[in-house]
Amino acid sequence: MSGANILEVEALHAHYGKSHVLQGVSITVGEAELVTLLGRNGAGKSTTLKSIAGAVVPTGGRVRFQGADVAGLPPHSIAKRGVCLVPEHRGIFKLLTVEENLLLGQRRDSPWQLDDIYRIFPRLKERRRNGGGQLSGGEQQMLAIGRALMNHPRLLILDEPVEGLAPVIVEEIVAQLKTIKAAGVAILLVEQNLEVCVQLADRHYIVEQGVIVHEAGNATFMADHDVKDRYLGVGLA
Protein backbone atom coordinates (compact mmCIF):
# COMPACT_ATOMS: atom_id res chain seq x y z
CA MET A 1 0.00 0.00 0.00
CA SER A 2 2.80 2.43 0.77
CA GLY A 3 6.03 2.69 -1.23
CA ALA A 4 6.43 4.54 -4.49
CA ASN A 5 3.46 6.22 -6.09
CA ILE A 6 2.91 5.46 -9.73
CA LEU A 7 0.41 8.34 -10.02
CA GLU A 8 0.39 11.67 -8.22
CA VAL A 9 -2.41 14.10 -8.99
CA GLU A 10 -1.96 17.47 -7.34
CA ALA A 11 -4.55 20.26 -7.15
CA LEU A 12 -6.07 19.35 -10.49
CA HIS A 13 -8.52 21.77 -12.08
CA ALA A 14 -10.74 21.26 -15.12
CA HIS A 15 -13.39 23.32 -16.87
CA TYR A 16 -16.09 22.63 -19.42
CA GLY A 17 -16.42 26.07 -20.93
CA LYS A 18 -17.09 28.36 -17.98
CA SER A 19 -18.15 25.53 -15.72
CA HIS A 20 -15.38 24.89 -13.16
CA VAL A 21 -15.81 21.15 -12.62
CA LEU A 22 -12.57 20.07 -10.91
CA GLN A 23 -11.50 22.50 -8.22
CA GLY A 24 -8.25 21.08 -6.94
CA VAL A 25 -8.40 17.29 -6.90
CA SER A 26 -5.40 15.61 -5.26
CA ILE A 27 -5.00 11.83 -5.26
CA THR A 28 -2.23 9.27 -5.42
CA VAL A 29 -2.09 5.66 -6.54
CA GLY A 30 0.75 3.43 -5.37
CA GLU A 31 2.48 0.67 -7.31
CA ALA A 32 0.13 -2.33 -7.55
CA GLU A 33 -2.45 -0.47 -5.47
CA LEU A 34 -6.18 -0.42 -6.21
CA VAL A 35 -7.75 2.92 -5.37
CA THR A 36 -11.37 3.95 -5.86
CA LEU A 37 -12.77 7.38 -6.54
CA LEU A 38 -16.30 7.58 -5.15
CA GLY A 39 -18.92 10.30 -5.19
CA ARG A 40 -22.40 11.23 -6.21
CA ASN A 41 -23.58 11.75 -9.78
CA GLY A 42 -21.96 14.81 -11.30
CA ALA A 43 -19.28 15.05 -8.59
CA GLY A 44 -16.44 14.99 -11.13
CA LYS A 45 -15.34 11.35 -11.12
CA SER A 46 -15.29 10.78 -14.87
CA THR A 47 -13.76 14.20 -15.45
CA THR A 48 -10.93 13.33 -13.06
CA LEU A 49 -10.25 10.09 -14.92
CA LYS A 50 -10.38 11.86 -18.29
CA SER A 51 -8.06 14.62 -17.08
CA ILE A 52 -5.49 12.03 -15.98
CA ALA A 53 -5.71 10.18 -19.30
CA GLY A 54 -5.61 13.37 -21.38
CA ALA A 55 -9.13 13.17 -22.80
CA VAL A 56 -9.87 16.40 -20.92
CA VAL A 57 -7.12 19.01 -20.78
CA PRO A 58 -6.65 20.19 -17.18
CA THR A 59 -6.73 23.92 -16.57
CA GLY A 60 -4.48 23.74 -13.52
CA GLY A 61 -2.54 21.43 -11.24
CA ARG A 62 -0.22 18.54 -11.90
CA VAL A 63 -0.48 14.94 -13.05
CA ARG A 64 2.71 13.01 -12.45
CA PHE A 65 2.97 9.50 -13.80
CA GLN A 66 6.04 7.47 -12.86
CA GLY A 67 7.67 10.73 -11.91
CA ALA A 68 7.05 12.53 -15.21
CA ASP A 69 4.64 15.43 -15.66
CA VAL A 70 1.97 14.33 -18.14
CA ALA A 71 -0.76 16.94 -17.60
CA GLY A 72 -1.85 18.39 -20.93
CA LEU A 73 -0.12 15.77 -23.07
CA PRO A 74 -2.30 14.26 -25.82
CA PRO A 75 -4.14 11.04 -24.85
CA HIS A 76 -2.01 8.82 -27.10
CA SER A 77 1.26 9.86 -25.53
CA ILE A 78 -0.14 9.38 -22.02
CA ALA A 79 -1.41 5.94 -23.11
CA LYS A 80 2.01 5.14 -24.52
CA ARG A 81 3.51 5.66 -21.08
CA GLY A 82 1.17 3.03 -19.68
CA VAL A 83 -1.99 4.84 -18.59
CA CYS A 84 -5.01 2.96 -19.99
CA LEU A 85 -8.49 4.39 -19.54
CA VAL A 86 -11.45 2.08 -20.13
CA PRO A 87 -14.23 4.64 -20.51
CA GLU A 88 -17.88 4.16 -19.59
CA HIS A 89 -19.00 3.48 -23.14
CA ARG A 90 -16.24 0.89 -23.63
CA GLY A 91 -15.36 1.72 -27.25
CA ILE A 92 -15.84 -1.75 -28.72
CA PHE A 93 -15.76 -1.95 -32.51
CA LYS A 94 -19.00 -3.73 -33.32
CA LEU A 95 -18.09 -4.83 -36.83
CA LEU A 96 -14.76 -6.32 -35.80
CA THR A 97 -14.49 -9.72 -34.12
CA VAL A 98 -13.53 -10.11 -30.48
CA GLU A 99 -10.04 -11.16 -31.49
CA GLU A 100 -9.63 -8.25 -33.90
CA ASN A 101 -10.72 -5.87 -31.15
CA LEU A 102 -8.09 -7.35 -28.84
CA LEU A 103 -5.35 -7.20 -31.46
CA LEU A 104 -6.04 -3.47 -31.92
CA GLY A 105 -4.61 -2.98 -28.44
CA GLN A 106 -1.64 -5.28 -28.96
CA ARG A 107 1.85 -4.22 -28.05
CA ARG A 108 4.73 -6.58 -28.46
CA ASP A 109 6.32 -5.51 -25.19
CA SER A 110 3.15 -6.22 -23.21
CA PRO A 111 3.26 -9.11 -20.75
CA TRP A 112 -0.42 -9.56 -21.69
CA GLN A 113 -0.79 -11.30 -25.03
CA LEU A 114 -3.86 -13.03 -26.52
CA ASP A 115 -3.43 -16.27 -24.57
CA ASP A 116 -3.15 -14.37 -21.30
CA ILE A 117 -6.34 -12.48 -22.04
CA TYR A 118 -8.17 -15.71 -22.94
CA ARG A 119 -6.95 -17.31 -19.70
CA ILE A 120 -8.42 -14.50 -17.60
CA PHE A 121 -11.54 -14.12 -19.75
CA PRO A 122 -12.54 -17.60 -21.02
CA ARG A 123 -15.77 -16.15 -22.42
CA LEU A 124 -13.76 -14.04 -24.82
CA LYS A 125 -11.97 -17.12 -26.08
CA GLU A 126 -15.30 -18.85 -26.71
CA ARG A 127 -16.50 -15.80 -28.59
CA ARG A 128 -13.27 -14.89 -30.35
CA ARG A 129 -14.83 -15.12 -33.83
CA ASN A 130 -18.02 -13.26 -32.88
CA GLY A 131 -18.53 -9.62 -33.77
CA GLY A 132 -18.14 -7.04 -31.03
CA GLY A 133 -21.77 -6.06 -31.63
CA GLN A 134 -22.96 -9.56 -30.71
CA LEU A 135 -21.57 -9.47 -27.21
CA SER A 136 -23.54 -9.00 -24.00
CA GLY A 137 -22.79 -5.93 -21.90
CA GLY A 138 -20.61 -7.99 -19.56
CA GLU A 139 -18.66 -9.52 -22.41
CA GLN A 140 -18.13 -6.06 -23.93
CA GLN A 141 -16.71 -4.87 -20.63
CA MET A 142 -14.38 -7.88 -20.48
CA LEU A 143 -13.29 -7.15 -24.04
CA ALA A 144 -12.59 -3.51 -23.20
CA ILE A 145 -10.48 -4.51 -20.18
CA GLY A 146 -8.75 -7.24 -22.18
CA ARG A 147 -7.87 -4.81 -24.95
CA ALA A 148 -6.48 -2.35 -22.40
CA LEU A 149 -4.26 -5.12 -20.97
CA MET A 150 -2.91 -5.92 -24.43
CA ASN A 151 -1.69 -2.32 -24.47
CA HIS A 152 0.62 -2.92 -21.49
CA PRO A 153 -0.94 -0.73 -18.80
CA ARG A 154 1.04 0.21 -15.72
CA LEU A 155 -2.09 1.97 -14.52
CA LEU A 156 -5.52 0.73 -15.52
CA ILE A 157 -8.31 3.29 -15.11
CA LEU A 158 -11.85 1.96 -15.09
CA ASP A 159 -15.02 4.07 -15.24
CA GLU A 160 -18.01 2.15 -13.84
CA PRO A 161 -17.00 -1.25 -15.21
CA VAL A 162 -19.96 -3.18 -13.78
CA GLU A 163 -22.70 -0.62 -14.31
CA GLY A 164 -25.93 -2.24 -15.45
CA LEU A 165 -24.56 -5.79 -15.39
CA ALA A 166 -26.25 -8.83 -13.82
CA PRO A 167 -24.92 -9.88 -10.39
CA VAL A 168 -23.41 -13.14 -11.66
CA ILE A 169 -21.42 -11.23 -14.31
CA VAL A 170 -20.40 -8.62 -11.74
CA GLU A 171 -18.91 -11.42 -9.61
CA GLU A 172 -17.04 -12.73 -12.62
CA ILE A 173 -15.54 -9.33 -13.41
CA VAL A 174 -14.60 -8.76 -9.76
CA ALA A 175 -12.68 -12.06 -9.78
CA GLN A 176 -10.97 -11.06 -13.03
CA LEU A 177 -9.98 -7.67 -11.63
CA LYS A 178 -8.51 -9.43 -8.58
CA THR A 179 -6.37 -11.52 -10.92
CA ILE A 180 -5.20 -8.41 -12.77
CA LYS A 181 -4.43 -6.60 -9.52
CA ALA A 182 -2.53 -9.63 -8.22
CA ALA A 183 -0.36 -9.46 -11.34
CA GLY A 184 0.84 -6.06 -10.13
CA VAL A 185 -1.18 -3.63 -12.25
CA ALA A 186 -2.15 -0.47 -10.38
CA ILE A 187 -5.86 0.30 -10.78
CA LEU A 188 -7.88 3.49 -10.36
CA LEU A 189 -11.55 2.57 -10.18
CA VAL A 190 -14.73 4.61 -10.36
CA GLU A 191 -17.72 2.47 -9.46
CA GLN A 192 -21.11 3.13 -7.86
CA ASN A 193 -21.43 -0.46 -6.61
CA LEU A 194 -19.86 -0.16 -3.15
CA GLU A 195 -19.92 -3.92 -2.56
CA VAL A 196 -17.61 -4.25 -5.54
CA CYS A 197 -15.41 -1.38 -4.37
CA VAL A 198 -14.80 -2.78 -0.90
CA GLN A 199 -14.05 -6.23 -2.30
CA LEU A 200 -11.26 -4.87 -4.44
CA ALA A 201 -9.82 -1.69 -3.01
CA ASP A 202 -6.88 -0.87 -0.79
CA ARG A 203 -7.96 2.74 -0.40
CA HIS A 204 -10.83 5.08 -1.26
CA TYR A 205 -11.30 8.75 -2.07
CA ILE A 206 -14.59 10.60 -2.09
CA VAL A 207 -15.02 13.55 -4.43
CA GLU A 208 -17.73 16.16 -4.01
CA GLN A 209 -18.21 19.13 -6.35
CA GLY A 210 -14.75 18.70 -7.76
CA VAL A 211 -12.84 18.44 -4.48
CA ILE A 212 -11.64 15.41 -2.48
CA VAL A 213 -13.56 15.51 0.79
CA HIS A 214 -12.53 12.19 2.31
CA GLU A 215 -9.82 9.55 2.11
CA ALA A 216 -9.66 6.22 3.94
CA GLY A 217 -8.14 2.75 3.85
CA ASN A 218 -10.55 -0.02 2.98
CA ALA A 219 -11.08 -1.43 6.47
CA THR A 220 -11.72 2.01 7.95
CA PHE A 221 -14.04 2.92 5.10
CA MET A 222 -16.06 -0.28 5.44
CA ALA A 223 -16.68 0.36 9.12
CA ASP A 224 -17.54 4.04 8.67
CA HIS A 225 -21.29 4.08 8.02
CA ASP A 226 -21.47 7.77 8.80
CA VAL A 227 -19.13 8.71 5.95
CA LYS A 228 -20.94 6.49 3.47
CA ASP A 229 -24.24 8.02 4.48
CA ARG A 230 -23.02 11.61 4.49
CA TYR A 231 -21.14 11.64 1.18
CA LEU A 232 -22.67 8.83 -0.80
CA GLY A 233 -26.17 8.65 0.61
CA VAL A 234 -26.06 4.91 1.11
CA GLY A 235 -26.13 2.64 4.10
CA LEU A 236 -24.07 -0.47 3.51
CA ALA A 237 -25.61 -2.95 5.94
Ligand X SMILES: Nc1ncnc2c1ncn2[C@@H]1O[C@H](COP(=O)(O)OP(=O)(O)OP(=O)(O)O)[C@@H](O)[C@H]1O
- C-beta of 45 vs 127, nearer to Mg ion: 45
- C-beta of 17 vs 67, nearer to ligand X: 17
Separation between Cα atoms, residue 133 and residue 111, nearest integer Å:
27
Q: Which range binds ligand X by CB under 6 A, 13-21, 178-186, 195-203, 215-223?
A: 13-21
Among 16, 24, 103, 178, indicate the residue that binds ligand X (CB under 6 A). 16
Q: Is the dihedral of CA 162, 169, 89, 203 positive or negative?
A: positive
Q: Pattern 34-73, binding to ligand X, x per CB under 6 A? A: -----x-xxxxxxx--------------------------
Interaction between residue 161 and ligand X (CB under 6 A): no
Query: Which listed option, Mg ion, ligand X, none, makes contact with residue 2 (CB within 5 to 8 Å by class)?
Result: none
Min separation Cβ 97 and ligand X, Å:
30
Separation between Cα atoms, residue 105 and residue 54, nearest integer Å:
18
Min separation Cβ 8 and ligand X, Å:
20
Separation between Cα atoms, residue 12 and residue 184, nearest integer Å:
26
- C-beta of 110 vs 192, nearer to ligand X: 192
- C-beta of 42 vs 184, nearer to Mg ion: 42
H or E element, residue 225: helix 225-227
Provide the CB-side half-sphere exposure for 76 (13 A, CA). 1
Q: Is the dihedral of CA 180, 186, 192, 193 positive or negative?
A: positive
Q: What angle do CA 202, 206, 212 make, to 5 degrees?
A: 115
Q: Is the dihedral of CA 165, 170, 173, 174 positive or negative?
A: positive
Query: Which listed option, ligand X, Mg ion, none, makes contact with residue 103 (CB within 5 to 8 Å by class)?
Result: none
Q: Report the interface residues with ligand X, using CB under 6 A.
A: 16, 19, 21, 39, 41-47
